[in-house]
């Protein structure tokens, strides 16, 4: 019998679910650490990999498996490896696929902690990293050498929402014998599917939109079974593991992913449009706006602009750029002042002094992250209430 081909919205609700003999309609939560075997022979077969099944929740757990299978179905990936956080997903990917002496080409426009991981920690273990412009493919070509193993990008980027041409970078990577890794955190599979555009591996911080309500930490690495085998091997040994409880929360989050991302995007577009008209705003960064440098490309690769809006605030006389940005943030009453994103609650932050504060001033300047920049992760509140919370911007 042919298996029906369901729409993504249906897969987000139904894919990956497996019921126990009790017939529960909501996925079961397995909080146990280990699993029993029928006999010694089965234990040996499970540990030896000749028989599938659960062993120990550091690397096999039914609830985590259901989450992995659901997210893989949504991204169109053969396999998903769930991890304890978004950063541990990046670490597992690199440690699983790279060795000392290998070379990584990464975008300058990535999350500040990702910069720290590549620049400081991984370099100490013999990995070389070159940072290049996200939007200039010729820089990626020039950075390649005989040791290049991975290309790493976020698209849209954090916090300026820059967009790269995934297919072009995939071609450059493959010509060099390297793999393209795309952090799809800002879009999720509801808006963008990098594997269909030529990417080899997808990274997620499930903490963000996959959860959707700011409850749990988690991450994921997705790709072919061949590429995920060493990533899973690293996780099995190193233990950067997703907890069963968090996986259960993410399963519930995925059920509403498509309706949430549609709402985040529509509200973000409305807010970005309003921001562009305000006298105290000098520039707005949002892929859904026609003024965005990569708007046309974004609309080819993405179904919508997503939920992240960044903008630069004009300083008043006697004010520094940071003081102007901080004054706006401090004036808000509704929007949460926190660096997290992907929550149902809108959040606001000053990237230069929070998410990218550990990045050198030189690197921040190269990435275009100035002291006047403010980032809003648009939640699910009514957009008119968000605009009212930012009314100070309408006062010239």
Looking at the structure, do residues 234 and 322 belong to the same domain, yes or no?
A: no
168 and 211 inside one domain: yes
Q: Report yes or no on 1 lying in a domain.
A: no
CATH, residue 355:
3.90.1150.10
Asked if residue 163 belongs to a domain, the reply is yes
Amino acid 396: pLDDT? 60
Q: Are residues 59 and 185 in the same domain?
A: yes
One domain for residues 201 and 105: yes
Strands 308-313 and 128-132: unpaired
Is 307 a domain residue? yes
230: domain range?
Answer: 8-255
CB atoms within 10 A of CB 202: 28
In a domain, 291, yes or no: yes
Residues 130 and 188 in one domain: yes
Does residue 212 share a domain with residue 311? no
| Contact (Cβ atoms closer than 8 angstroms) between residue 171 and residue 178 | no
**Do both 237 and 286 map to the same domain?**
no
For residue 159, is the peptide bond before it cis, meaning its omega torsion is within 30 degrees of 0?
yes
pTM: 0.95
Residues 183/203, Cβ–Cβ less than 8 Å: yes
Q: Does residue 2 lie in a domain region?
A: no
Residue whose C-alpha is closest to residue 219's, from 195, 183, 191, 187: 183
130 with 250, same domain: the answer is: yes
Verify that 272 and 213 share a domain, yes or no: no
Our count of domains for the chain comes to 2
- Asked if 100 and 176 sit in the same domain, the reply is yes
For residue 392, what pLDDT is reported? 87
The rounded average pLDDT for each run of 10 residues, N- to C-terminus, in the chain (396 residues) is 80 92 93 96 95 95 97 98 98 98 96 90 94 97 98 97 98 98 98 98 98 98 98 97 98 98 98 97 98 98 98 94 96 96 98 86 83 97 98 82
Any domain includes 116? yes
Q: For residue 209, is it within any domain?
A: yes
pLDDT of res. 2: 60
Task: State which of 239, 255, 271 marks the end of a domain.
Answer: 255
Q: Which of residues 224, 255, 286 is at a domain's end?
A: 255
CATH number assigned to the domain comprising residue 198: 3.40.640.10
Q: Which of 210, 237, 255 is the last residue of a domain?
A: 255
Contacts of 289 (CB under 8 A, 6+ apart): 269, 272, 273, 276, 295, 305
For residues 206 and 262, membership in a common domain is answered with no
Q: Does any domain span residue 18? A: yes
Sequence-ordered list of residues with C-beta below 8 angstroms from that of 67, at least 6 positions apart, any chain: 16, 80, 82, 242, 247, 248, 250, 251, 254
Asked if 236 and 112 sit in the same domain, the reply is yes
């Amino acid at each position: 019998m042919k298996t029906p081909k369901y729409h993504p919205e249906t897969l987000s609700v139904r894919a990956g679910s497996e019921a126990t003999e009790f017939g529960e309609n909501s996925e079961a939560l397995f909080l146990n650490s280990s699993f029993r075997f029928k006999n010694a022979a089965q234990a040996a077969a499970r540990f030896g990999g000749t028989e599938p099944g659960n062993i120990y929740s550091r690397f096999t757990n039914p609830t985590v498996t259901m989450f992995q299978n659901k997210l893989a179905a949504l991204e169109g990936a053969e396999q998903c490896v769930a991890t304890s956080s978004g950063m541990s997903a990046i670490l597992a990917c690199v440690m699983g696929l790279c060795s000392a002496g290998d070379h990584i080409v990464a975008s300058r426009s990535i999350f500040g902690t990702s910069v720290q991981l590549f620049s400081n920690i991984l370099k100490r273990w013999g990995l070389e990293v070159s940072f290049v412009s996200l939007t200039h493919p010729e820089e990626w070509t020039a950075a390649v050498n005989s040791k290049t193993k991975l290309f790493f990008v976020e698209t849209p980027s954090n916090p300026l929402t820059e967009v790269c041409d995934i297919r072009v970078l995939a071609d450059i990577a493959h010509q060099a014998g390297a793999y393209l890794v795309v952090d799809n955190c800002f879009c999720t599979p509801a808006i963008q599917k990098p594997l269909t555009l030529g990417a080899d591996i997808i990274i997620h911080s499930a903490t963000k939109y996959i959860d959707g309500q700011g409850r749990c930490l988690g991450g994921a690495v997705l790709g072919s079974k061949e590429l995920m085998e060493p990533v899973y091997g690293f996780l099995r040994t190193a233990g950067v593991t997703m907890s069963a409880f968090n996986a259960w929360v993410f399963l519930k989050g995925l059920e509403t992913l498509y309706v949430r991302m549609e709402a985040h995007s529509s509200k973000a577009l409305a807010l970005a449009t309003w921001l562009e008209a305000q006298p105290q705003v000098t520039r707005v960064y949002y892929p859904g706006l026609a003024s965005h440098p990569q708007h046309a490309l974004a609309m080819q690769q993405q179904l919508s602009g997503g939920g992240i809006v960044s903008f630069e605030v004009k300083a008043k006389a006697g004010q520094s750029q940071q003081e102007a940005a901080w004054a706006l943030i401090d004036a808000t009453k509704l929007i949460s002042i926190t660096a997290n994103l992907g929550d149902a609650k809108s959040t606001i932050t000053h990237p230069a002094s929070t998410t990218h504060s550990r990045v050198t001033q030189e690197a921040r300047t190269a990435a275009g992250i100035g002291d006047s920049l403010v980032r809003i992760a648009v939640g699910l509140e009514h957009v008119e209430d968000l605009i009212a919370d930012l009314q100070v911007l309408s006062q010239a």
